[in-house]
Amino acid sequence: MSTSCRNAFVFVIIFTVARLAMLAASGLYLLPDEAQYWVWSRHLDLGYFSKPPMIAWLIHLTTAVGGNAPFWVRLASPLLHGATALLIVPLVKELGWGEKRAFWAAMLYMLLPMVTFSSMFMTTDVPLLFFWTFSLLAFHRACRTGQGRWAFVTGLLVALGLLAKYAMAYFAVGAALYLWFDKDARKRLGTKGGTAIVGTAFLGIVPNLLWNVKHDWITFAHTASNANMSGSLFSFREGLVFMLSQFAVFGPFLMIALLFSVSFLLSSRKTAGAGEGADSFKTRVYLHAFTWPPLLLMIGLSFLTRANANWAALAYVGGLLLAVEWMLAGGRKGWITASVFLHGTLVLVLFFLSLPAMQRVLLPPVNVFAAQQRFGATAEVVANRVGHFYPDTTVMADERKIMASLVYALRNLPVRVRMWPYDRTPANHFELTQTMTRDEGAKVLWVTNIRANPVVVGKFETSRLIESLSAQSLAGGKGQYYIMELTGYKP
C-alpha cells in the first residue's frame, strides 16, 4: 500500500471514530423519519409504506447490538459513510488516476457538507451512496476486463442499492450513456455481461416487487407522489432555490470545479488521440455519465414542482472525482485547501450546535435543527405526562411526524399509540397499520397542532385541554402543540 493510500485509510478511520464520538455526544432527538424507520425495524419485512426495506434492516441490526437509544439507531450512518470513503480509494485507482487523487477524493468525501449533515442522522441516502460507489467500481472493472464475475457483482450491488432507495435506478441511465459512447467497453462487457447485470439486479429486487404487488404498489405510488405535479407546472423560484442549495450540499468550491470539469472534458476530447490520452478521456466520460443525469433531472423537476436538496446526492460521487481531477490537473491546490478548511469548519459548527447544552439555549436561525427537533421534544413531554398521570390510556396523534416521534418516545411505557382514523386512502404507514378502534377510545390523550379540531372532537363524548406546548419553548421551533383528554370514542 502506498503512502497516499495509507494516509487516506488512516484519515478515514480516525475521522469515523471522531464522528462516532460526536454522535454519542449529540443531544438531538430522532427526526420523525428516523423514528418511523425505527418503527419499521421492529417488524422486519421486504418493503414498507414509503421506502424499500434496507434502512429498517440496518437499524434492526445496530439496535439489536446496543439497544434503541438514538446513537444505536444512527450508528450505521457514520460507519457506512466511512466505508464509502474507503471505497473511493480503489475506485480512483481502478479509473487509473493515481493515489494522490485517491487520497484527496477520500478526504473530501468525508468532509462534504451533505456527508457531514447526513452522518448525524440515519437516512436512506447513506446506504444508497455506499452501494452506488461500490457499483461504480464494479461496473468499470466489468467493462475494463470483461470478466463475468464483475458483471454479477455489479448486478448484486445495484439490487442492494435499489433496496436502499429507488433512486439507484439512475445507475441504469449512467451505464447506458457510457456504453453508448464507449464501443470498446460495450464490446468487452458483451451481451452476456449486460444480461448478467440486468438479470442479477432484477432477481435481487424481485422480493420487494412481490411485496409491492401484494400491497398495491404502495411504495412506488408514494415515491411518485413525492413529485407532486398537481400544482403550478412552473416555479422559477423553486428551481433557483434548488440549484443554489446544491452549492451548500456539495460545497461552493467543489461545485464550481465540477462545472469547470465539463469544459475540461470538451477540451480534452480534441487532444485525446489514442493510448493514455484516450483512456483519460473515456474515464471522464464514465464519471460524467453517472453525474449529470440525476443532477439535471432534479434541476428540471425543481422548476416543475418541489425537489429536496438531497435528491441529487448520487451525482456527487462521480462529481467529486471530476472536481478533484480538475483542481489537481490545473495545479489548483488552493481550491482544495479552501474546501478542506470550509467543510472542516462546518463539521465543528454542526457538532457544537448538536450538543445538549446548545440545543437548550439556541434559537433559530442559529439552531438549524430546531424545525425538526420540536417533534421529538413534544413527544418527550407527552411521555413524561403519560408515565406520571396516564399509565393506562391511548395516546393518539393526527399527523405522521408527531405520531412517529410519539411511538418512539413511548416505547418503554405500557400504553397504546394510535393514529386518528381518517376516512381516506392511507397516506402513511401509521394510517395503514395503527389507527384507533372503538375499543381503544374510552380514554384518549390526543396530541395535536390543531386545537379542538371539530372533526375529531365531534367523535368523542367529552374533551378538555390539558396543556399547551410552545414549540419554541421546547426546541426553538415554530408552532404550537396541544395535549387534550378525550373520552367516549364513538366512530
Please choose, from the candidates 361, 360, 416, 415, the residue with its C-alpha nearest in 3D space to the C-alpha of residue 387.
415
Is 386 in the same domain as 345? no
Half-sphere exposure of 383 (CA within 13 A, CB side): 17
Give me the domain span that covers residue 348.
3-353
Domain boundary at 297, 318, 353, which?
A: 353
The reported pLDDT for the residue numbered 218 is 87
Judged by average pLDDT, the poorest of 222-236, 349-363, 387-401, 405-419 is: 222-236
Q: What is the pLDDT averaged over residues 318-343?
A: 96
| Inside any domain, residue 362 | no
**Overall number of domains in the chain:** 2
pLDDT at 275 exceeding the cut of 60: no
Q: Are 313 and 297 within 8 A, CB to CB?
A: no
The reported pLDDT for the residue numbered 417 is 96
The residues, any chain, with a CB within 8 Å of residue 187's CB and separated by 6 or more, are: none
Q: Which residues pair with 2 in a beta bridge?
A: none
The reported pLDDT for the residue numbered 232 is 62
pLDDT at 374 exceeding the cut of 80: yes
Q: How far apart are alpha carbons 240 and 42 in whole angstroms?
A: 40
pLDDT at 276 exceeding the cut of 60: no
Q: What is the pLDDT averaged over residues 162-167?
A: 98
Is 394 in the same domain as 301? no
Q: For residues 473, 479, 481 and 482, what is the CA-based torsion angle, rounded to 10 degrees?
A: 110
Half-sphere exposure of 128 (CA within 13 A, CB side): 25
| Inside any domain, residue 300 | yes
Q: How far apart are alpha carbons 142 and 154 in whole angstroms?
A: 8
Sheet strand arrangement including 480-489: 416-419, 394-397, 443-448, 480-489, 460-470
pLDDT at 367 exceeding the cut of 90: no
Is 275 in the same domain as 394? no
C-alpha cell of 94? 481502478
Is 332 in the same domain as 386? no
pLDDT at 37 exceeding the cut of 90: yes
User: What phi and psi values does residue 142 have, to the nearest 5 degrees?
Assistant: -65, -40
- The count of other CB atoms within 10 Å of the CB of residue 69 is 12
Domain boundary at 323, 353, 383, which?
A: 353
Q: List the helix and strand counts (H, then E) for the chain.
A: 23, 5
CA geometry: angle at 21 spanning 124 and 67, to 5°?
60
pLDDT at 423 exceeding the cut of 90: no
| Inside any domain, residue 358 | no
- The count of other CB atoms within 10 Å of the CB of residue 412 is 8
| Inside any domain, residue 16 | yes
pLDDT digits (tens, 9 = 90+) for 227-269: 655 556 778 889 999 999 999 999 999 999 999 999 988 887 7
Is 278 in the same domain as 226? yes
Instruction: Using DSSP, state whether 444 is helix, strand or coil.
Output: strand
Instruction: Using DSSP, state whether 367 is helix, strand or coil.
Output: coil
pTM over 0.85, yes/no: yes
The reported pLDDT for the residue numbered 266 is 85
Judged by average pLDDT, the poorest of 111-120, 248-257, 264-273, 427-436 is: 264-273
Q: Which residues pair with 445 in a beta bridge?
A: 395, 485
Is 145 in the same domain as 278? yes
Is 331 in the same domain as 466? no
| Inside any domain, residue 364 | no
The reported pLDDT for the residue numbered 393 is 86
pLDDT at 472 exceeding the cut of 60: no
Confidence of residue 13 (pLDDT cuts 50, 70, 90): very high
pLDDT at 484 exceeding the cut of 80: yes
Is 253 in the same domain as 137? yes
DSSP string, 102-154: HHHHHHHHHH-HHHHHHTTS--THHHHHHHHHHHHHHHHHHHHH--HHHHHHH
Is 321 in the same domain as 377? no
pLDDT at 474 exceeding the cut of 90: no
Is 269 in the same domain as 405? no
Instruction: Using DSSP, state whether 365 is helix, strand or coil.
Output: coil
Q: Are 77 and 125 within 8 A, CB to CB?
A: no
User: What phi and psi values does residue 337 have, to the nearest 5 degrees?
Assistant: -60, -45
Is 348 in the same domain as 376? no
| Inside any domain, residue 267 | yes
pLDDT at 491 exceeding the cut of 90: no
| Inside any domain, residue 365 | no
Please choose, from the candidates 340, 347, 306, the residue with its C-alpha nearest in 3D space to the C-alpha of residue 114.
347
Average of per-residue pLDDT values in the chain? 92
Encode 416-441: b = buried (16+ Cβ within 10 Å), e = exposed: bbbbbbeeeeeebbbbeebebeeeeb
C-alpha cell of 187? 464490446
The residues, any chain, with a CB within 8 Å of residue 158's CB and separated by 6 or more, are: 131, 135, 168, 171, 172, 197, 200, 201, 204
Domain boundary at 286, 319, 353, which?
A: 353
| Inside any domain, residue 473 | yes
Is 245 in the same domain as 337? yes
The reported pLDDT for the residue numbered 350 is 95
Between the alpha carbon of residue 324 and those of residues 283, 291, 334, the distances in Å are: 14, 14, 12
The reported pLDDT for the residue numbered 230 is 54
pLDDT at 408 exceeding the cut of 90: yes
C-alpha cell of 470? 410552545
The residues, any chain, with a CB within 8 Å of residue 40's CB and separated by 6 or more, are: 48, 53, 55, 56, 59, 429
